[in-house]
Amino acid sequence: MDHIDRRKNFILGLGLTTVSHWLIGIASMVLPVGSPAQPFVILALVVVFVGSVQLFLNIAVWVYHSEVFPLHMRGIGISVFVLWVINGFLSLYFPSLVSAVGITGSFFLFAAINVVALIFAITQVPETRGRTLEALEEEVTTGAIYLVHKK
């Protein structure tokens, strides 16, 4: 992570997950149910999705959490708690979502949410690479992090 911008990781990871979700939705719509190709195509696209999350987003999220929160908040772990609650919620209700709107609707919904996250990352996530934790804490506390180099 010392050689790669965190912000670029967010943008690339969110872009790839958005495209993966969009393609899964299209594949489930275009390939008929019962087609021998459908499970393999969707599995390949899910592997692309998981790979993009693991290679880009997870790394960036965990490093970013450790850098952007001030020390007194880092120990509380609120962001990690929220992350796990959302993961649990999604895991619990994913089958219900698929039953309600189908696999196509579910993944188009995920793609739409990813577009919102991508816009947020592009417009609001500042770069933290190359800064000390002390400097980051000062910049976050004062709000200066949003005024300094948005690469």
Q: What percent of the chain is helix, strand and coil (3-state, nearest 5)?
A: 80, 0, 20
Please tell me the predicted confidence (pLDDT) of residue 75. 67
Please tell me the predicted confidence (pLDDT) of residue 107. 96
Q: Which residues, 6 or more positions from 72, have their beta carbon under 8 angstroms from its beta carbon?
A: none
Please tell me the predicted confidence (pLDDT) of residue 34. 86
**Whole-structure pTM value:** 0.82
* Domain 6-146 homologous superfamily, CATH: MFS general substrate transporter like domains (1.20.1250.20)
Q: What is the 3-state secondary structure (H, E, C) of 60-100?
A: HHHHHHHHHCCHHHHCCCHHHHHHHHHHHHHHHHHHHHHHH
With 0-12 CB in 10 A as exposed, 13-18 as middle and 19+ as buried, what is 90?
Answer: exposed
Please tell me the predicted confidence (pLDDT) of residue 37. 92
Please tell me the predicted confidence (pLDDT) of residue 148. 57
Low-confidence ranges of the chain (pLDDT < 70): 1, 75, 148-151
Write down the domain spans for the chain.
6-146
Under 8 Å between Cβ of 14 and 57? yes
